[in-house]
Structure 1
Amino acid sequence: MCALAVPVSLLISRFVPGVGAATAAVALGTALASTGAVRAPLRPGLAFVSKRVLRAAVVLLGLQIAVPQVLALGWRSLAVVAVSTGLTFVLTPPAGRRLGLSPGTSLLVATGVSICGASAIAAMHDSTDSTDDEAAGAIAVVVLYGSAAIVVLPLLASWLGLPPDRLGVWTGAAVHEVAQVAAIGAATGVLATAVTVKLARVVLLAPIVAVTTSLRRLDGARETPAGTAPSGSAGAGRPPIVPLFVAGFLAAVAVRSTGLLPTAVTDSVPALTNALLAAALFALGTGIDLRKLLRRGRVMALGAISTGLIAATSLAAVSLLG
């Protein structure tokens, strides 16, 4: 089923501007689940793809990021990324609590909006104890508001009289999905800058997932009575503090940054990564209950708050660029 869904998702992304293969795959999986086409015998295979294949895709994502290319943006542009991403990730969960949302939902919305959309949500979901239902709500947020940004952000930039160099940085620092950033960049002539800034945000995926996983594990250890094994750990070793696929992502970034990879490899990696991400997110989408999703007004409200926060903070920071 995933093998059939991937080419369909890639075709949709090719002919529908601003819709990436990952977004199309989530929508396709949700549509099939909502019609009852996903039967119980398919679940084990879909679970494998949504976890194992996702991890492989995240590792390969690192091969698209060369540290020298990111550093070439200059410290001011990197500061925009760090400030807007950091503030959004830190402030979104408290806003979620005020809205009465679960910690898992708030964390996943914060991750998707602040870093790189659905793929970041899936990576954080795989590293924490969040549920598939919480992941579904967070993915809906980044798809909805990221798609709206394709139209809204260029209009705002024109109204504000933002010059092209600052528009490129703002686009990369504020918009959720790489495909959405590319759509805005291509339409406004700032594609290279926008995508490079976006990749600088993607670099933050590994440290944020690693730190979050470590902190949640420490909190769980404090709450476990002395002499009692953590839930689900009987007979099993403790999982690594840094998830292995996150370490693999960092290793892939290091390899790409050496400049030793052949051009044939670096040219083919994005297509392979997109296909694997599409497969994983399709599998995740097959677990989404659309009826529950349509009742998630508070999740949509948190998405609006978080999206507004990263757009406002990054715009304010961009306005200070020399």
Structure 2
Amino acid sequence: MTQSLKRRTHSDGESPARRRLGGIAPGLAVCGAIALTATGINYLAPAVSPLLLAIVIAAVVANLVPVPAVCGPGVTFSAKVLLRIGVALLGLQLVLGDVLGLGFGVLLVVVAIVVGGITAGLLIGKALGIPYARRLLISCGMSICGAAAVAGVEGVTKADEEDTATAVGTVVLFGTLMIPVIPLASNAMGLSEETAGMWAGGSIHEVAQVVAAGGMIGTSALTLAVVVKLARVMMLAPIVTVLSIRQRRLTGDAGKRPPIVPMFVIGFIACAILRSVGILPDGIISAGKVAQTVLLTVAMSALGLGVRLQVMRRVGWRPFVQAAATTAVVAGIALGGVLIAG
């Protein structure tokens, strides 16, 4: 009788997979619609990144129209699962030979930027009385690769939605401000195009923001800026691994412990290796880049939906001071480093 009841339950009801898909569908549809809008604007204005547009559009939507609770599971799925897949595919943009071609001196500068930026950000945030998880996300976002770093690090810390939203909001604000600042400052200081490009790649938060600033400086600057930025992106894997190990030690046997090396980090490294050894055809690389852009744009839409004015008002001015100071430290280390190494 029990077996017949189970059979009727499975035959009359939906499968677990279908129920899960139905649960995430509303939120996924909202994030997809925002991502599609951002992509359309990017098509008309290619200089504007669809990822940044998605965050801004989603933040505007979230502050004008209350997002229904039914969208919650799909938004969470987009901000966590889709983002991690997108970050893993980001490895397909990395050719290790290009990064190593920067030379030992520049690579040492990249390590100094990331480690120095995170350390300074944590100290500044502590002095301002900001909770550890929040100041860590802000520090990593400013020092590594923007919102993708925020989301990656969030998975191995005890950060909440407010911490993540605050960090994403500061990354968008200060990274965008840096787009005109670096080219103008480079010109005022009389830096060569190559040096200015390396400074942009070493100091600006998002890859898309680096592309925008590098393009304003010049063609050769753009190439160097992107390669230096991708070298910083490579630092995401070891940083997340170190933070994951630290969290496991703090957690001990109580509660859920994060994996030593998260799966998306393994995927990122695997994609970078596959791209670097040259076994992937151009079609696969191109398709991977499109998939990565789509997934990250949808994920940025989900993150943007968490950026609400009431949250920003509630967290106060301190995170913005930390973000501004950390941005200045990262830019200072980058400038000093490229001038010495260049």
TM-score under structure 2 length normalisation = 0.86
Helix, strand or coil at the partner of 2:181: helix
Provide the residue aligned with 1:36 in structure 2. 65
CA distance in 1, matches of 2:168, 2:307: 10
Instruction: Write the letter of the residue equivalent to 2:185.
Output: L
CA distance in 2, matches of 1:165, 1:294: 40
1:15: how far off?
Answer: 4.6
In 2, are the aligned partners of 1:46 and 1:283 still within 8 Å (CA)?
Answer: yes
CA distance in 1, matches of 2:80, 2:272: 21
- The CA deviation string for residues 88-141 of structure 1, in whole angstroms up to 9 with x for no partner, is 012211110110111111100111110011111111112322111111111111
Larger of the two Rg values belongs to structure: 2
CA distance in 1, matches of 2:47, 2:324: 19
Helix, strand or coil at the partner of 2:278: coil
Helix, strand or coil at the partner of 2:146: helix
Stretch moving more, 67-76 or 192-201: 67-76
1:289: how far off?
Answer: 2.5
CA distance in 2, matches of 1:78, 1:285: 32
Stretch moving more, 80-89 or 23-32: 23-32
CA distance in 2, matches of 1:230, 1:63: 37
Aligned length: 310
1:28: how far off?
Answer: 2.0
Percent identity of paired positions between Structure 1 and Structure 2? 36
Provide the residue aligned with 2:279 in structure 1. 260
CA distance in 2, matches of 1:137, 1:17: 28
1:274 is the counterpart of 2:303: no
Instruction: Write the letter of the residue equivalent to 1:259.
Output: G
CA distance in 2, matches of 1:260, 1:172: 28
Please give the root-mean-square deviation of Cα atoms over the aligned residues, in Å: 1.6
Instruction: Mark the CA change 1:120 to 1:167 in structure 2 (over 3 Å): closer, same or farther.
Output: same
Provide the residue aligned with 2:209 in structure 1. 180
Helix, strand or coil at the partner of 2:336: helix
Provide the residue aligned with 2:263 in structure 1. 244
CA distance in 2, matches of 1:45, 1:124: 21
CA distance in 1, matches of 2:45, 2:326: 26
Instruction: Write the letter of the residue equivalent to 1:293.
Output: M
Instruction: Write the letter of the residue equivalent to 2:304.
Output: G
CA distance in 1, matches of 2:115, 2:40: 35
What are the within-5 Å matches in structure 2 for residues 211-222 of structure 1?
Answer: 211-221=242-252
Provide the residue aligned with 2:55 in structure 1. 26
Helix, strand or coil at the partner of 2:164: helix
Provide the residue aligned with 1:126 in structure 2. 155
1:16: how far off?
Answer: 5.2
CA distance in 1, matches of 2:232, 2:300: 20
Instruction: Write the letter of the residue equivalent to 2:104.
Output: W
- The CA deviation string for residues 48-67 of structure 1, in whole angstroms up to 9 with x for no partner, is 11111111111101111111
Helix, strand or coil at the partner of 2:341: coil
CA distance in 2, matches of 1:210, 1:128: 11
Instruction: Write the letter of the residue equivalent to 1:209.
Output: V
Q: Which has the higher contact order (CA 8 A, sep 6+)?
A: 1
Instruction: Write the letter of the residue equivalent to 2:209.
Output: Q
- The CA deviation string for residues 221-257 of structure 1, in whole angstroms up to 9 with x for no partner, is 2xxxxxxx513x4xxxx54211111111111111111
What are the within-5 Å matches in structure 2 for residues 1-322 of structure 1?
Answer: 1-15=30-44, 19-189=48-218, 190-221=221-252, 229-231=253-255, 233=256, 238-294=257-313, 296-322=316-342
Helix, strand or coil at the partner of 1:127: coil
1:220: how far off?
Answer: 2.6
CA distance in 1, matches of 2:151, 2:167: 10
Instruction: Write the letter of the residue equivalent to 2:284.
Output: V
CA distance in 1, matches of 2:313, 2:90: 31
CA distance in 1, matches of 2:127, 2:267: 36
Instruction: Mark the CA change 1:219 to 1:178 in structure 2 (over 3 Å): closer, same or farther.
Output: same
Instruction: Write the letter of the residue equivalent to 1:39.
Output: P
Helix, strand or coil at the partner of 2:205: coil
TM-score under structure 1 length normalisation = 0.92
Provide the residue aligned with 1:224 in structure 2. none
Structure 2 stretches of 5 or more lacking a match?
A: 1-29
CA distance in 1, matches of 2:283, 2:206: 25
In 2, are the aligned partners of 1:109 and 1:303 still within 8 Å (CA)?
Answer: yes
In 2, are the aligned partners of 1:21 and 1:275 still within 8 Å (CA)?
Answer: no
1:79: how far off?
Answer: 1.7
CA distance in 1, matches of 2:48, 2:66: 24
Instruction: Mark the CA change 1:144 to 1:16 in structure 2 (over 3 Å): closer, same or farther.
Output: farther
Instruction: Mark the CA change 1:101 to 1:259 in structure 2 (over 3 Å): closer, same or farther.
Output: same
Instruction: Mark the CA change 1:18 to 1:216 in structure 2 (over 3 Å): closer, same or farther.
Output: farther
Structure 1 stretches of 5 or more lacking a match?
A: 222-228
Helix, strand or coil at the partner of 1:299: helix
Instruction: Write the letter of the residue equivalent to 1:121.
Output: V
